[in-house]
Structures are given as structure tokens and as C-alpha cells.
Amino acid sequence: MIHWRIFPTREAQAQALANAVVAGLDEALTIRPRALLAVSGGTSPKAFLTQLARLPVAWRDIAITLVDDRWLPPTHAQSNARLVAETLLPGAKGAQWLPLVDTATDASLQVQTLNDTWTHGVPQVCVLGMGEDGHTASLFADAPQWHDAITTRQKFVLVQPQRAPYLRVSWSLAALAACERLILLIQGPAKRALLEAAQTEEQDNAISRLIHREGVKIDVFWSEE
């Protein structure tokens, strides 16, 4: 099930999303001592992350992680960790940062270690993006790991897309489906049409598989531009 929230501009979208994330974290902290926030990389979340960093949040009670990241050093221009470090973390004073990638070790070993030692559960608030092929997080249907990524009960998977660069670490489909609040951030008519098609009939892409999982609810923050 998806619920649409529509905005005329990216600025309005970013501000509303930041407020919604704060409300979600505040609600989560009323029933537990700590909360986990997962955010996406790329270009679309930059304005939202910048807005979120300016808002009053009990960051000392919150851990921040990514829904996925490329297998790159955190200083690389295409690293999602770098985006979060430059936008959100400067304002999130006291928050615990939980990166997914450690290029000092083997990628397969890193994912195994995450699955074996992760004690933080699934995110209470998870902000997703969506590619033009319908992937979300780094769950690419063209990857050799696609079947495992959408069927495993493990939280983390290693994914090598065929038509996108870089090896990736991603939350699995089951882990995303278990998140307490899922939010999708998208812009433009093409992505709206893609999402509506994915909702109408289940397709072989991650966002459609996620929408059609039983019990999953997604708040869609969409802007026209």
C-alpha cells in the first residue's frame, strides 16, 4: 500500500520530509530508548538531509545508517557515506554513525560480519529512493544476486549490478519490508508513472516487489519538478 504526498517544489518536499522524519523518530523514542534512521544516497536526498540537520532532534538517542552504499572509500565523490557526512552528520551532534562499507576488508566478509554482528535491528524510519529501472536501495533486478536479495532473511546483501557501476552493500528486501516506517522520496512525472505502474501490477523490480509484500506501507513524497 502506498500513500501519496504531493509537493510543487523540491524545496517544499525536502522540508516536509525532514519534518516527517523528525516526527517518526520522536514517536519511536516514546516506546524505546534508541531509534535507528536509514537514509539514501544519490543526488535527490541532498536537500532533505540538509534540512534535517537543521531541526531539533534527540540525536544522542539515534543511530544513523544507509539503506545502501557503493563499495568505495567514504571520501570518494560517489560514496553515499560521504553525502551523509557532508549534509546530515554535521548537524546530528551525538548521533551514532553506522557505515555499511569498510574497504579495508573483503566485501563478502564485510557483509557476513554485518549480518553476524548487527545488533540495532531494522530502522524505525527508512527513507528510500528509486531508480528509473525500479530499483530501490541497491536491489537491482539485473544483478546475479537478485534472487537472493529478494528472498533471503538476512538483513544485508552484496550486489553487483550489471548496468550500474560499483559493487554495493544493501539492506535486503525482507529487511526493508520489516522497517517500521518506509518513506519514498522521488521527483518528476517519469518516476511517478513508474511507481504507479509498479503498484498496479507486480513487476520484476525491487520497488514493485516491496509494494506488493503483505503488510508493507510506503509514504511517497513526490514533487513535480
Percent of the chain with pLDDT over 90: 99
Give CA–CA dist 45/34, Å, rounded: 24
pTM, full prediction: 0.97
Domain residue extents for the chain? 2-223
**CATH annotation of 2-223:** 3.40.50.1360
**pLDDT tens readout for residues 175-207:** 999 999 999 999 999 999 999 999 999 999 999
Considering only CA atoms, which of 180, 190, 183 is closest in space to residue 224?
190
The answer to whether residue 225 scores a pLDDT higher than 90 is no
